Amino acid sequence: MQLSPSQVIVLATPVFLLLIAIEYAYGRWRGRDTYRLNDAINSISLGMLSQISGVLTGLFRIGLYAAAFEHAALWRDEAFWTSPAGWLLALVAYDFCYYWLHRAGHEVAVFWAAHVVHHQSQDYNFSTALRQTSSGALLGWIFYLPLAVAGVPPLVFGVVALIDLLYQYWVHTEHVGRLGWFDRWFCSPSNHRVHHAVNDAYLDRNYGGILIVWDRLFGSFREEAEPCVYGTRAPLHSWDPLWANLEVYAVLARDSWHARSWADKLRVWVKPPGWRPADVARRFPKTAFSLAQVQRYHPPMARGMAWFAAIQFALVLAGVALFLWHADQAPLSQSGVWLAVLTASLWAIGAAMQGRLTVLEVLLVEVAALATAIAATG
What tens-digit pLDDT sequence spans the chain (378 residues)? 678 888 899 999 999 999 999 999 999 999 999 999 999 999 999 999 999 999 888 767 788 999 999 999 998 999 999 999 999 999 999 999 999 999 999 999 999 999 999 999 999 999 999 999 999 999 999 999 999 999 999 999 999 999 999 999 999 999 999 999 999 999 999 999 999 999 999 999 999 999 999 999 999 999 999 999 999 999 999 999 999 999 999 999 999 999 999 999 999 999 999 999 999 999 999 999 999 889 999 999 999 999 999 999 999 999 999 999 998 888 888 888 899 999 999 999 999 999 999 999 999 999 998 898 888 776
Q: What is the DSSP string of 237-251?
A: ----HHHHHHHHHHH
Q: What angle separates helix 303-326 from helix 37-54, to the nearest 10 degrees?
A: 20
What is the full DSSP assignment across 141-202?
GGGGHHHHHHT--HHHHHHHHHHHHHHTTTT--SS----THHHHHB--HHHHHHHHB-STTT
CA distance 141 to 98: 10
Neighbouring C-beta atoms of residue 312, cutoff 10 Å: 20
Closest C-alpha to 207, from 97, 127, 93: 97
Alpha-carbon span 301 to 92, nearest angstrom: 45
Decide: helix, strand or coil at residue 233. Answer: coil
The sign of the CA dihedral 83, 87, 92, 93 is positive
Taking residue 374's Cβ as centre, other Cβ atoms within 10 Å add up to 11
Say which DSSP state 288 is in: P
Integer Cα distance of 97 and 269 in angstroms: 22
- SS3 at position 73: coil
The candidate with the shortest Cα–Cα distance to 294, out of 200, 229, 248, 201, is 229
**What value does the CA radius of gyration of the chain take, rounded to a whole number of Å?**
21
In whole angstroms, what is the distance from residue 133 CA to residue 112 CA? 10
Q: Cα–Cα distance between 347 and 344 in angstroms, integer? A: 5
What SS3 class is residue 230? strand
Alpha-carbon distance of 275 to 8, in angstroms, equals 39
3-state secondary structure of 211: strand
- Distance, CA of 55 to CA of 35 (rounded, Å): 30
Longest alpha-carbon distance in the chain:
61
What distance in Å separates the CA atoms of residue 370 and residue 311, rounded to the nearest whole number? 17
Residue type, 264: D
pTM of the model: 0.94
| Closest listed residue to residue 310, CA positions, set 44, 114, 68, 112 | 44
| Type of residue at 213 | V
